[in-house]
Amino acid sequence: MSVKRTVATWTTAVLAAATLASCAESERDGGGEGGGSEDAGTFVFGAAGAPEMFDPFYATDGETFRVTRQMFEGLLGIEPGSAEVVPELATEWEPNEDGTEWTFTLRDDVTFHDGEPFNAEAVCYNFERMFDQNEAGQTAGEYWGYVMGAFANDAENSLYQGCEATDEFEAVITISGPTSGFPTMLTLESLSMQSPKALEEGDANGIAAEGEGFSFPAYADAPVGTGPFTFGEYDEANGEITLARNDDYWGDTAKVSELVFRVIPDESTRRQELEAGSINGYDLPNPVDWAGLEEDGNSVEVRDPFNILYLGLNPEANPQLKDLKVRQALYHALNREQLVQTQLPEGAAVATQFMPDTVSGYNTELEPYPYDPDEAKRLLQEAGAEGMELTFAYPTEVSRPYMPDPEKIFEALRTDLEAVGVKVDVKTASWNGGYLDNVTAGRYDAYILGWTGDYDSAYNFIGTFFGNLKENDFGTSAYPWGKQLADDLKAADAVVDEDERGAAFEEINGQIMEEYLPGLPISHSPPALVVGPGVEGVVPSPLTAEEFDTVTVGGE
Site for other proteins in 128-167 (CB under 8 A): 135-136, 138-140, 142, 145-146
Q: What angle, 0 to 180 degrees and rounded to 10, lies between the N-to-C axes of helices 406-419 and 336-343?
A: 150
Whole-number Å distance between alpha carbons of 276 and 500: 53
x/- map, 68-97, other proteins, by CB under 8 A: ------------------------------
Whole-number Å distance between alpha carbons of 405 and 267: 13
Residue 157: phi and psi, rounded to 5, are: -95, 5
Closest distance between other proteins and the C-beta of residue 243, in Å? 13
Q: Give the CB-side neighbour count of residue 525, counting CA atoms within 13 A.
A: 31
Query: What are the E-state strand segments in 202-313?
Result: 208-210, 213-215, 229-235, 240-245, 258-263, 281-283, 299-302, 307-313
- Under rule CB under 8 A, residue 215 binds other proteins: yes
- Under rule CB under 8 A, residue 555 binds other proteins: no
Whole-number Å distance between alpha carbons of 509 and 458: 9
Closest distance between other proteins and the C-beta of residue 401, in Å? 11
Sole binder of other proteins in the list 284, 311, 422, 449 (CB under 8 A): 449
Sole binder of other proteins in the list 160, 249, 447, 451 (CB under 8 A): 451
Residue 378: phi and psi, rounded to 5, are: -65, -45
Rg (CA), the chain: 27
Residues in the chain, how many?
556
3-state secondary structure (DSSP) of residue 449: strand
The interface with other proteins within residues 422-441 (CB under 8 A) comprises 429-438, 440-441
Closer CB to other proteins, 266 or 515, in the complex: 266
Of the candidates 51, 75, 60, the residue with the CA atom closest to the CA atom of residue 194:
75
| Cis bond upstream, residue 183 (ω within 30) | yes
- Under rule CB under 8 A, residue 233 binds other proteins: no
Closer CB to other proteins, 392 or 451, in the complex: 451
Residues in binding contact with other proteins, number by CB under 8 A = 78
Closer CB to other proteins, 172 or 274, in the complex: 274
Closest distance between other proteins and the C-beta of residue 514, in Å? 26
- Under rule CB under 8 A, residue 35 binds other proteins: yes
Report whether 46 contacts 262 (CB < 8 A): yes
Closest distance between other proteins and the C-beta of residue 200, in Å? 19
- Under rule CB under 8 A, residue 3 binds other proteins: no
Q: Which range of residues in 347-355, 416-424, 443-451, 528-536 is near other proteins by CB under 8 A?
A: 443-451
Q: Which range of residues in 19-27, 148-156, 311-319, 543-551 is near other proteins by CB under 8 A?
A: 19-27
- Under rule CB under 8 A, residue 264 binds other proteins: yes
The interface with other proteins within residues 298-327 (CB under 8 A) comprises none
